Structure 1
Amino acid sequence: MGIEPLVFVGIDWASTEHQVCLIGADGPVQRVFAHDGDGIGTMVDWLVAKADQPGQVAVAIETPHGPIVEALMDRGIAVFAINPKQLDRFRDRFSPAGAKDDRRGALVLASSLRTGSHWFRRVEALDPVVVELREWSRMAEELKQECVRLTNGVRQQLWRYYPQMLDLTEDVGADWFLALWTKAPTPAEAMRLTETEIAKVLAAHRIRRVTAHDALAILRRPALTVAPGTADAARVHITAVAERLNLVNWQIKTVLQRIDGLVEQLAGPETEPGKIPSSATRQSCAPCRGWEGLSSPRCSRRLIKPSRREITRLCAPSPVWPRSRSRAADPVVWRCVRHVLAACEPSSITGPASQPSTTPAVAAATPPS
């Protein structure tokens, strides 16, 4: 911990007020502070006044981020975080029945930190660029989920009256697909569409996998027989959704560009040939892009012989299932392990891979250690 703490504090945080328990020389003291500028400021001042220096105050809390954590760390107070599931085991010391309330929760946090500080993880101040990068990555994930939801809505409406258009591509939320649908929103209008108009749309969006001739032939396939008004209703629905999809697509591009810029800012200067980059540089290759950053050929600072802990941290978002009693490795997990090991080989940077010691069939059948 560095400075030996003399005061141990547990904070049971909430949305409107926070229960604080302080254990010092005079025993536990309970107080409640409101979640606003005055309340948090008063709480921090009260804690700092209980010791000769802020470093002698150790605070336990169930979250490693948020305004409370930032306010405490700004004054030099040591903040320690613990998983709520671990805290449940400590609560059994005070209530075998597992009863929960704010006062008991704060007391359990403070007492557990005093007697079992090695179970807690100290919260360190992050680089401002990392904080911004995490927020942009969350935004990217939310936008992608929104894009999937809107795309499914477009696909469902096209299935009602215009299924032949779904044969053009699987990504019906792409900009070029929506632009082409605007030219021919119904099968009747597709009959009046020319090959030249389709070619202009494809050329504007640089689409080469679909030709104008093939697209026109698909759009002019026999249409479904639907009830009167169905095509018009679906057209109105898709028009409204397409406007939001175009905005979400633009926002995704903007967010990913910003993420790339922050990653380059974190990575710093290029690594000299033949020199192994530092651990911080290796970890900054893919702080938020996951497998995309590891497998990207543009990344010149891919992992070189990382530790098992680094591999585990990078692979944490991937689903992992325990082995069955038959000790057979899950094929999904094994494929992920092989991809990670391939990305971590030095040959992925210096040159082509060397001759493998086993054949692909033997390697695929060998369970991971």
Structure 2
Amino acid sequence: MFVGDDWAEDHHDVEVMDGSGRRLAKARLPEGVTGMARLHAMIGELTGDDTDTLEVLVGIETDRGPWIRALVAAGYTVLAVNPLQAARFRDRLGVSGAKSDAGDAHVLADMVRTHGHELRPVAGDSPEAEAVKVVARTHKTLIWERTRHTQRLRHALRDYFPAALIAFTDLDAADTLELLGKAPTPARAARLTIAQISAALTRARRKDIAGKAAGIQAALRAEHLAQPDVVVAAYAASVQALLAVLTVLDAQVKTLQGQVEAYFGQHPAAEIILSQPGLGSVLGARVLAEFGDDSHRYTSAKARKNYAGTSPITRASGKKKVALARFVHNDRLIDALMSQAQSALLHSPGARAYYDRQKARGAGHNAALRQLANRLVGLLHGCLTNGTLYDERTAWSHHAENVAA
């Protein structure tokens, strides 16, 4: 039996279909316990006494949340459908462009009926892994938000206070936020004393305070092109708001980092992940969060690499065959893996040698780094599958032998 579930924030449009494609039932169910009970009742009426032998496949465009948990707990096979896949499949069934929630439920039901063997079941990750995912994703989101607000601050300063960009190289640093908060206009900044600047640098634990304080004061007092006073005042008000947001974001990033490290440290796979080159508690938590810990999710190292987006895709037509980088991938995961590869260059001689060989073959930095990340994903898969810690000599022995030969 095949179920298409088109979900919204407060309801689910559901269609149930048999193996021949015949619609057995459809309904709009409320989100929550009531809706789940009605879904069970609907399927129970259709299956009768055949519950032990009949498999129920549910297609839905998400892989997380209480509703998904309840479907899995009920014994249904839940298939996570990428919205892009569903849109392409919808185009196969009609060309009019018509779209509705009930129609999307029909598309999902028919998709799991005809292509269920090609869709990915929702992973059975442990609650510990889910907890790591929650804090690791929020931590990374806050870092991205801090970067966005820092860029907004940079753009504003460039428009009315370019001297600040010369004086402060790190706009989201504690001393920069403090001094800009005290003096958000060029006139007030020019009146900052060496003592005030030095005090802020001391609180931020900077080195060479005397030299840096003199350099900041000189930059702030240098001549520059000015905006009208009323425009400067408006920019100053905007900048102070951005500074307040950045101060809160910086504090919460630090607080949540402690939570990431704590939750990750409690996971059984933490020791194996931390043994990998280039992975610390934060990056390791992100890698675990995005891969999950379902031991049956990745049937091989290649499957894990494909999901990671580090392995290339091949396009072949006639005699022409090219390997290209994957551009459709989990952004959070590929960001963590590329950071790991960059860090591994400094901590693993084998990783460094592997990267240098890719460069010697003509690969650019990003391409060589992606190939190294792909290799590291394979090593991680082997360690997790076998329950062993990373060993530098074992990890790169095959490549060393090939070079020697």
Stretch of structure 1 that moved more, 307-316 or 253-262 = 307-316
Task: Specify the alignment match of 1:301 in structure 2.
Answer: none
Residues 20, 31 of structure 1: 8 Å contact kept: yes
Residue matched to 1:11 = 5
Aligned CA RMSD, in angstroms, stands at 4.7
CA distance, structure 2, for counterparts of residue 126 and residue 22 of structure 1: 27
**Gaps in structure 2 of 5+ consecutive residues:** 289-299, 328-333, 372-405
What is the CA–CA distance in structure 2 between the aligned matches of 1:114 and 1:233, rounded to whole Å? 60
1:256–1:312 Cα change, 3 Å? farther
**Residue 76 (str. 1) matches residue 75 (str. 2):** yes
TM-score (norm 1): 0.70
Question: Structure 1 residues 312 and 267 mapped into 2: Cα distance closer, same or farther (>3 Å)?
Answer: farther
- Whole-angstrom CA distance in 1 between matches of 2:261 and 2:123: 25
In structure 1, the partner of 2:400 is none
1:288 to 282, 286, 289: 286
2:242 corresponding residue in structure 1: 241
Question: Which has the higher mean CA deviation after the structures are superposed, 107-116 or 34-43?
Answer: 107-116
Aligned partner of residue 284 in structure 2, secondary structure: coil
Aligned to 1:32: 28
Question: How far did 1:33 drift?
Answer: 1.5
* Alpha-carbon shift at residue 215 of structure 1 (Å): 1.8
Corresponding residue for 1:215?
A: 216
Instruction: Give SS of 1:364's match.
Output: coil
Q: Output one character per residue of 1:215-261: Cα deviation in whole Å (capped at 9) or x when no partner.
A: 22222212544423344333333222211210111112222332233
Kept in 1, the 8 Å contact 2:142–2:253? The answer is yes
Q: 1:321 to 1:214 in 2, by over 3 A?
A: farther
Counterpart Cα distance in 1 of 2:73 and 2:325:
47
Deviations 1:273-326 (A, max 9, x none): xxx98xxx99x9635269xxxxxxxxxxxxxxx93443443346x999989x99
Distance 1:81 1:352, change over 3 A: closer
Query: For the Cα contact (< 8 Å) 2:3–2:58, is it kept in 1?
Result: yes
* Contact 1:54–1:75 (CA under 8 A) maintained in structure 2: no
- Residue matched to 1:201: 200
Give the Cα–Cα distance (whole angstroms) in 2 for the partners of residues 344 and 226 of structure 1.
43
Q: For 2:89 and 2:110, how far apart are their aligned partners in 1?
A: 9
**Alpha-carbon distance between aligned partners in 1 of 2:314 and 2:141, rounded to the nearest angstrom:** 26
**Residues 215 and 64 from structure 1, CA distance in 2 versus in 1: closer, same or farther, beyond 3 angstroms?**
same
Measured in 2, the distance between the counterparts of 1:178 and 1:121 equals 47
The one-letter amino acid paired with 2:248 is: L
Write the letter of the residue equivalent to 2:149.
L
- Tell me by how many angstroms 1:360 deviates: 8.1
Matched to 2:6, the amino acid is: D
Give, in whole Å, the separation in 1 of the partners of 2:182 and 2:39: 62
Residue 15 of structure 2 corresponds to residue 21 of structure 1: yes
Assess, with a 3 A threshold, how the Cα gap between structure 1 residues 110 and 199 changes in structure 2: closer, same or farther. Answer: same
SS in 1 for 2:267: helix
State the one-letter code of the partner of 2:266: Q
Query: Quick one: structure 1 residues 332 and 106, their matched pair in 2 at CA, closer, same or farther if it must change by over 3 Å?
Result: closer
Structure 1 residues 174-223: Cα deviation after superposition (integer angstroms, max 9, x where no partner): 22101122344444444443323222211211223772222222222125
> In the TM superposition, what is the alpha-carbon distance from 1:267 to its structure 2 partner?
5.5
Work out which structure has the larger RCO, using CA pairs closer than 8 Å and 6 or more positions apart in sequence: 2
Does structure 1 conserve the Cα–Cα contact (< 8 Å) formed by 2:79 and 2:122?
A: yes
Corresponding residue SS for 1:167: helix
CA distance in 1, matches of 2:99, 2:312: 31
Provide the residue aligned with 1:255 in structure 2.
256
Q: How many residues align?
A: 336
Kept after mapping to 2: 8 A contact 1:22/1:30: yes
Larger mean Cα displacement after TM superposition, 134-143 or 348-357: 348-357
SS in 1 for 2:79: strand
Letter in 2 for 1:252: V
Question: Matches of residues 1-369 of structure 1 in structure 2 within 5 Å?
Answer: 7-24=1-18, 28-48=24-44, 50=47, 51-53=50-52, 56-88=55-87, 90-91=89-90, 95=94, 99-208=98-207, 211-266=212-267, 268=269, 270=271, 286=284, 288=286, 307-315=301-309, 343=341, 362-364=360-362
Distance of 1:141 and 1:206 partners within structure 2: 25
SS in structure 2 of the partner of residue 76 of structure 1: coil
Cα deviation for residue 118 of structure 1 reads: 0.8
Please state whether the residue corresponding to 1:32 is helix, strand or coil: strand
Unaligned runs of 5+ in 1: 1-6, 291-305
**Secondary structure in structure 1 of the residue aligned to 2:17:** strand
